[in-house]
Structure 1
Amino acid sequence: MESVLVKEYRAGIMECAHYGHICIVNDQGEITAAAGDPDFVTFTRSAAKPLQAISAIRGGIVSHYGLSEKEIAIMTASHLAQPDHVEVLESIMQKTGLSEMELICAPSFPLNEESKEDVLRHNGSKRRLYHNCSGKHLGVLAYCKMKGYLLEGYAEPEHPVQQEIIETMSMMCGIEPQQIRLGTDGCGFPVFALPLSAMAAAYAKLACPDLIADKPTREAVKTITQAMNRYPEMVGGSGRVDSLILQDPNIVAKGGFKGVYCFGLKKERLGIAFKVLDGSEEEWGWIVESILVQIGYSNRPLIEQMKESFTHDIYNDAGKQVGYAETVFQLQSQ
């Protein structure tokens, strides 16, 4: 049974309620707390990006191409195509010799409004590089090129690099490959349907790489998460939950389209995953903040910063406060 996570009020009247599921696991993969169904199956969407980057980093693309930590971080990103994002993406193409036309993600305008307006002001057009998943695509293409794999069909599930990614997902989530159901993501990549408990287990390993038995995978995870924490603005961008909470070196986090969000806590050795069933992302900051408060998270300045950045007040188009939102779920020990 789903749980009500957030209620929104206008003029004191509840206007909408956002239902969903939350799962928290410990470093043994055991469910310790939940709201709703901790084993609810949903698609990982972009929350899988740090996991999808493991194969290429483990395979040696960092040293092979001389990649920087910013370039590693943007391979995990759902970026907004802000100027600093585009600069890093173009640097990857220069180092790897890849062409933008080799990306299968659709030409897009930047998701950041200011960047989009700047493109239009200068008579620019959509680019594949502006797609929020382009960093992930460039990382996988770079790995294919290094390994001598065909670049054509690099996003097909049968491609060797995608098979390696599926095997890595299986290891990180603690389930058999055949238990991972596949769909197609918005950018054309395979996307994984998994229980929230499996996603949370994977994020516990991202936060605590000592849980990973395979040394090359363990070292790749350290490289990826260190880059995400050092350059959080590369992972999302202005106003994104990921980029805010990744400033805390104790947190590894990544959201995905249609309301899925995952994060891991290093010192607490916890993995956390949740899904907003109506697919909304506006509630992420409120839900993350409430989870951190309920588990007694020690970084109070971060929680206060979240309250300020993701205010519970609701404003209309003219900036007048017209309502408020409140998180209403209570985590239940399992």
Structure 2
Amino acid sequence: MDKVLVQEYRADIMECAHHGHICIVNDKGDVQAYTGDPHFVTFTRSAAKPLQAIPGIRAGIAAHYGLTEQEIAIMTASHLAEPEHVKVLESIQKKIKSDDHVLVCAASYPLDEESKENLLRQQGHKRRLYHNCSGKHLGVLAYSEMKGYSAQDYAKPDHPVQQEIIELVSNMCDIETQHIELGTDGCGFPVFAIPLSAMATAYMKLACPDLISDDATRSAVQTITAAMNHFPEMVGGRGRVDSLILKDTNIVAKGGFKGVYCFGLKKERLGVAFKILDGSEEEWAWIVQSILEQIGYEHRDTIEQLKLHFSTEIYNDGGQQVGYAKPVFQLQS
């Protein structure tokens, strides 16, 4: 049964209650703590992006194309199409000799409001490159180009790279391939429906790659997670929870649309995954902060930064405080 994770109050009257599930696994693959159903099945959405980047990096696309750490990081991103994001994405396009028309993701305006306003003032137009998943797409296109695979159907589940990704997800999540249900993500890629415990297991391995038996996969994970920690703004952007948390080099983190969030803790050797059932993302930072506090996380600065940048105070359009939010869940062992 789901549990209330966060309550929101206006004039001291509860206005909203956000239900969901949380799972924390240890490096033995056991559920160490949870709230609700730790095996609740949901779609990974963009939380799968660091996993989806592994096959290409494992196969050598970084050396083949001379990719920078920024370019590797943005392959895991749900970026806002800020100017620096666009610069890095266009650099990848140039290196792999590709352009927007090959991308399956829809043409979009930047999610960053300032970037969108500047673009419109300059009479700019939507681009597929501005889609928040374009880095992931360019990573798969780079791998397809290097291997001589078709670029026309790179997003279809039966494409060789997508098949390799599914197998990789199976191995990282410790779940049989036949138990992974497939859907179609908003950007057109296959998306995986798996238990939260499986997602948490994958993030535990991202944080603790010594648990990965295959040398090439382990090396790829180390390359990807290092890039995410070294260039956290590439993974999200200004004001994004991912980018703030990734500044803590002890954490590997990535959120996904419709309320999915995952992170791994290196020193503590833990993987965490949670799902907010109403699909909201506003509560991510509050839930992460509460989890870190409840497990006694030593890096207090990360918790304080979450409190500073993601206040639980609720303001109206005029800047007046009108309410507050509070996490109300307690982790169970």
For normalisation by structure 1, the TM-score amounts to 0.99
The residue aligned with 2:264 is 264
User: Which residue number in structure 1 is paired with residue 76 of structure 2?
Assistant: 76
Query: RMSD in angstroms over aligned alpha carbons?
Result: 0.4
Cα deviation code 1:168-219 (max 9, x no counterpart):
0000000111110000000000000000000000000000000000000000
- What secondary structure, in the 3-state scheme, does the structure 1 residue paired with 2:125 have? coil
Q: Secondary structure at the match of 1:201?
A: helix
Deviations 1:80-131 (A, max 9, x none): 0000000000000111111111001000000000000011010011000000
CA distance in 2, matches of 1:244, 1:20: 23
Separation (CA, whole Å) in 2 of partners of 1:249 and 1:306? 15
Partner of 1:248: 248
Question: Which residue is equivalent to 2:16?
Answer: 16
Structure 2 counterpart of 1:192: 192
Amino acid at match of 1:323: G
Runs of 4+ in 1 over 6 A off after TM superposition: none
- Matched position secondary structure for 1:297: coil
- Counterparts of 1:112-151 in structure 2 under 5 Å? 112-151=112-151
Aligned partner of 1:317 in structure 2 is 317
SS of the aligned residue for 2:50 comes to helix
Q: How far apart are the structure 2 equivalents of 1:28 and 1:229?
A: 25
Normalised to the residue count of structure 2, the TM-score between the two structures is 1.00
Distance 1:113 1:188 in 2: 24
Residue matched to 1:208 = 208
Instruction: Quote the Cα distance in structure 2 between the aligned partners of 1:285 and 1:206.
Output: 20
Report matched runs for 1:2-41 at 5 Å: 2-41=2-41
1:274-320 CA deviation, whole Å, 9 max, x = no partner?
Answer: 00000000000000000000000000111111101000000011111
1:107 is aligned to 2:119: no
Which segments of 5 or more consecutive residues in structure 1 lack a partner in the other structure?
A: none
Output the CA distance in 2 between the equivalents of 1:227 and 1:170: 23
Q: Tell me, in whole angstroms, the C-alpha distance in 1 between the residues paired with 2:152 and 2:241.
A: 34
1:300 maps to 300
Identity of aligned residues (%): 74
Distance in 2 between residues matched to 1:77 and 1:301, nearest whole Å: 24
Q: Which moved more, 1:300-309 or 1:220-229?
A: 300-309
SS for the counterpart of 2:24 is: strand
Aligned-pair distance for 1:264? Answer: 0.0
Give the Cα–Cα distance (whole angstroms) in 1 for the partners of residues 36 and 241 of structure 2: 23
Per-residue CA shift, 1:21-64, capped at 9, x if unaligned? 00000011100000000000000000000000000000100000
**Corresponding residue for 1:274?**
274
**What is the aligned partner in structure 1 of residue 224 from structure 2?**
224
Match in the other structure for 1:164: 164
Q: Distance in 1 between matches of 2:205 and 2:320?
A: 43
Give, in whole Å, the separation in 1 of the partners of 2:218 and 2:28.
16
Q: Give the distance between the partners of 1:145 and 1:28, measured in 2 at CA.
A: 38
Separation of aligned partners in 2, 1:305 and 1:167: 37
Q: Which residue of 2 aligns with 1:91?
A: 91
Give aligned pairs, total: 333
1:154 CA displacement: 0.4
Tell me what 1:286 maps to.
Answer: 286
TM-fit CA distance, 1:145: 0.3
